Structure 1
Amino acid sequence: MPTTKPSELRKLPVSELQKRIQDTKKELMELRFQSSIGQLDKNHRVAEAKREIARMMTVLGEKARGVEGANEVEAKPTQAGKRTAAKAKAPAQKPRAKKA
């Protein structure tokens, strides 16, 4: 089963989403069984199925809350370099004198 984009999932009715979640969970169970007995050739398929279920459940939750296209807005890139530099500039604590 190829991965489905969230924008495509949002167009589906709730009943179809629930059916797809159920089908993908069955597929995941079969993949785990095949993996446990050593017959699974594509091990990455287990992780893909889990992500697909999570993606569909997220869209289903959005529909339940009435959120429309919450994830379609692009996020601004983070400035990780500035955060690490700020941590490096933090003043060091003074060593405390030992009490006699």
Structure 2
Amino acid sequence: MPLPKIADARKLNAEELAEEILAAKRKLFELRFQQATRRLEKNHEFKHTRHRLAQLLTVERERELTAQSSEEE
């Protein structure tokens, strides 16, 4: 399974982006829980989920900075 592309995250609107961020955080929690109870089978899911969360947060921050710079002008 390849890592998700940031272009996919940039296509999302603000509401979808917030939902995706929440879903990624929830999935990380579930993965940590599975690891603690020794039920985790796919260790690579940590990497993929953290990567996706970082992409989503980056896109969110880019949008904040763009909105902030447009307000200043």
Same fold (TM over 0.5): yes
Aligned equivalent of 1:42: 42
Alpha-carbon distance between aligned partners in 2 of 1:40 and 1:59, rounded to the nearest angstrom? 29
- Which runs of 5 or more residues in structure 1 are unaligned? 68-100
TM-score (norm 1): 0.60
Which consecutive segments of 4 or more residues in structure 1 shift more than 3 A? none
The higher-RCO structure (CA 8 Å, 6+ apart) is 2
| Matched residue count | 66
Higher helix proportion, which one?
Answer: 2
Question: 1:44-81: per-residue Cα shift (whole Å, max 9, x none)?
Answer: 111211111011000111111118xxxxxxxxxxxxxx
Structure 2 gap ranges (5+): 68-73
Report the Cα offset of residue 3 of structure 1.
4.3
RMSD of aligned C-alpha atoms?
A: 1.7
What is the Cα deviation at residue 36 of structure 1? Answer: 0.9
Residue 6 of structure 1 aligns with which residue?
A: 6
Give 1:43 deviation, angstroms: 0.9
User: What is the TM-score with the length of structure 2 in the denominator?
Assistant: 0.80
Q: Give the deviation of 1:5 after TM superposition.
A: 1.4
